[in-house]
Amino acid sequence: MTAPSSSPRGRFATLSVEHASTVSRVAAELRRAVFEGELESGTPLREIALAESLGVSRPTVREALSVLVAEGLATREPHRGVAVATPRAESVRDVCRARWVLEGAGVQAWAGADDVRRQRVRDTLEAYTSAVRGGRASYEELNERHLSFHVSLVELTGSPRLVQMAEALMDELKLALAQVDRIRRNAHDEAESHEGLVTLLEAGRIDGPGGASEFLRQHIADAEVEVIDALGLE
């Protein structure tokens, strides 16, 4: 039986924290550039150029790009490589239809939800509105907190599968919403709208004219139109 190597190199030969950290840093920088509008929709993400610009290897860039593709921020096509994702009007419409089904179910579940799930809605709302009014949050952070609030509505159903579906939908929508936030600069209006929805929930006004369900339906419908119009999608 061969004795384990006692040398530091042999003992830790399988560890790759430094490489993984580099991939994460490259992915974070690319993600930031996408959310801040430095890399617009459709921009080709060339491995060689990015590696030279960032001072890293092509394999590192390749792995980082795979992270962005998995997050829905970039697309990979055969013979064309990777590019920043481009939202499509029909996809936006379909995502919004699906959002209404999932988030609408969450609103209907408010009365029967436990205190933990209700508090989660309040906490995500506070995190979002605080970031908006603080004035220092990046578009990426605002986007993340905004979408976390909407996922928290689905969490009211108590269904992990519905929550997973909601998270997947938000991945599809987050780039488009970030672009609209940059163009319209209306995050304060969005924050007030979300507060209005939670006020209705807290008051138990769920159904009927002026209730939370109708409020949410109109909010999602308005978001659909806003995204398509602001980005000039067809």
Query: Phi/psi of residue 112, each to 5°?
Result: -95, 0
Number of domains in the chain: 2
* pLDDT recorded at residue 178: 80
Give Cβ neighbours of residue 21 (< 8 Å, ≥ 6 apart): none
CATH code of the domain covering residue 51:
1.10.10.10
Query: End of a domain among 47, 69, 84?
Result: 84
In this structure, is residue 3 part of a structural domain? no
pLDDT per residue as tens, the chain (234 positions): 555 555 555 665 655 445 568 899 999 899 888 888 888 888 999 999 999 999 999 999 999 999 999 988 899 988 889 999 888 899 999 999 999 999 999 999 999 999 999 999 999 999 999 999 998 888 888 888 999 999 999 999 999 999 999 999 988 888 888 888 777 776 677 889 999 999 999 999 999 999 999 999 999 999 999 889 988 887
In this structure, is residue 162 part of a structural domain? yes
Query: Phi/psi of residue 179, each to 5°?
Result: -65, -40
In this structure, is residue 8 part of a structural domain? no
User: Is there a contact between 123 and 151 (Cβ–Cβ < 8 Å)?
Assistant: no
Predicted TM-score (pTM) of this structure: 0.79
3-state SS, residue 15: coil
Query: Which string of DSSP letters, residue by residue, matches 99-127?
Result: HHHHHHHHHHTGGGS-HHHHHHHHHHHHH
State whether 111 and 220 are in the same domain: yes
In this structure, is residue 6 part of a structural domain? no
d(CA 213, CA 104): 6
* pLDDT recorded at residue 16: 47
State whether 104 and 217 are in the same domain: yes
* pLDDT recorded at residue 72: 85
